[in-house]
Amino acid sequence: MKVTRVTVFDVTLPVTPSAGRQNAWIVEVETDEGLTGAGEIGLCYGIGGRGAAHVLLDLAEQYLIGADPGLIEKHHDNMVRNTFWGLSGGAVFMAAVSALDEALWDIKGKKLGAPIHALLGGAKTDSLRLYANGWYRGLGKAEAYRDAVYGVVQDGYSAFKFDPFKADLTGKAAHPRRVLTRELESLALERVVAAREAAPNADIIVEFHGNLWPADAIRFGLKAADLNPYFYEEVVDPLNVEAAADVARSVSVPLAGGERLWSRNGFRPFLENGTLKLVQPDLGIAGGFTEVQKIASLSESYCAYLQPHNCGGPISTAACVNLSAACPNFLIQEIFPYWTDGRENIVQNPYEADIKDGRLQIRDLPGLGVALNHDFLTRFDSLSVGRTT
């Protein structure tokens, strides 16, 4: 079996006031035997997705067209070690590698008639516990957070995450300044208090999005600790190991992070100094299945849990489910159940449609367990290398 063509679809999603412009960059790898694989560049939001798409096509043309898709470790090694820039990585470069890696694993699973989680050692559970994200868009006052949390709990979730610093009092998206104002600090704390009051028995992950410096993160972290957060996430700049360690030494709540890191070498110093207790690699950025399963093993050796970051489209969710199902140190899976922009139509059978009581059933379908919806994808611009069979 040989790879014949690789296509990237630019799925431009409707702009939402709080989420801004997003593009789901979906990859399809075709073979001369008719089997295809799907992947997703993990840069749906922010800047960089278009750059990763072009890097991906260069990689595919150089290393995959005409090659056996089953030699996944070889291809991963070539894309990282033989490209000069691949050795230092970066989110844009590694997002391209990651999406191709996901697609190759999808093909291998279909070829063998097995789900990817079976190829990774087999599922150790029938379903995954989820935590809901994305439920607080456009909310301002603490009372609005309380009401929204009631809805999340009624939807069956026993865990949820939010960034209490992300919006001003009117609900307008706001990027916190380096010096956290007393007003925003008080508002953020009120929001966490309201969330805890609405869900006294739920697990709450408080997101910082790397916007604070240690002094502010520590002060807020100490004030919110009495509300029993499950974790604090990305408390400082995501690459600043010592700053994160400073916070970890000062607060009692465990720290999570890693969505903007790539490769096991990016996670290693955070594990060696004991900073991260919940590791959150994004399969669409950190190297796909090939690298993230190594990150999971490295994390397990430091007694750290793993939860794949998931903030994109349904291919990202499918990848997360397969990795998490087979991961011995998996804790809980992130999910965005409240998107209204139609991204679930990227595939014919999204996992998101199967959520029940805050859990997601593991599928016993080949590969990723989802199929691309070409009727939907062909509405969008695409770029390809290779040829049609």
Give the CA radius of gyration of the chain: 20
pLDDT of residue 274: 96
Residue 326: pLDDT band by 50, 70, 90 thresholds? very high
Question: Number of helices and strands (H, E) in the chain?
Answer: 12, 13
pTM of the model: 0.96
Active site (annotated) includes residue 309: yes
Q: What is the mean pLDDT of residues 42-46?
A: 94
Residue 375: pLDDT band by 50, 70, 90 thresholds? very high
What are the tens digits of pLDDT across the range 68-106? 999 999 999 999 999 999 998 899 999 999 999 999 999
Cβ contact 374:346 at 8 Å: no
Tell me what the pLDDT averaged over the chain comes to. 96
Amino acid at residue number 332: I
The residue to which tokens 């087999």 are assigned: 122
**Catalytic annotation, pick one of 75, 117, 209, 374:** 209
CA distance 264 to 81: 15
Percent with pLDDT over 70 in the chain: 99
pLDDT of residue 176: 85
DSSP 39: E
Report the b/e string of 263-279 with b at 16+ CB within 10 A.
bbebbbebbeeebbbbb
Chain centre to alpha carbon of residue 289: 13
What are the tens digits of pLDDT across the range 50-59? 999 999 999 9
CA distance 100 to 74: 13
Active site (annotated) includes residue 54: no
Whether residue 18 is predicted with pLDDT greater than 80 in this model: the reply is: no
**Catalytic annotation, pick one of 75, 76, 117, 309:** 309
CA distance 106 to 365: 11
pLDDT of residue 17: 64
Q: What is the mean pLDDT of residues 322-327?
A: 98
pLDDT of residue 108: 98
90 Cβ neighbours under 8 A, 6+ residues apart: 262
To the nearest 10°, the Cα dihedral for 364, 365, 367, 371? -140
Cβ contact 57:16 at 8 Å: no
pLDDT of residue 20: 74
Whether residue 247 is predicted with pLDDT greater than 90 in this model: the reply is: yes
What are the tens digits of pLDDT across the range 138-196? 999 999 999 999 999 999 999 999 999 999 999 998 888 888 999 999 999 999 999 99
What are the tens digits of pLDDT across the range 278-317? 999 999 999 999 999 999 999 999 999 999 999 999 999 9
Residue count of the chain, please give it. 389
CA distance 309 to 378: 28
pLDDT of residue 389: 63
Q: What is the mean pLDDT of residues 341-367?
A: 97
pLDDT of residue 19: 65
What are the tens digits of pLDDT across the range 103-129? 999 999 999 999 999 999 999 999 999
Cβ contact 352:318 at 8 Å: no
Beta bridge partners of 250: none
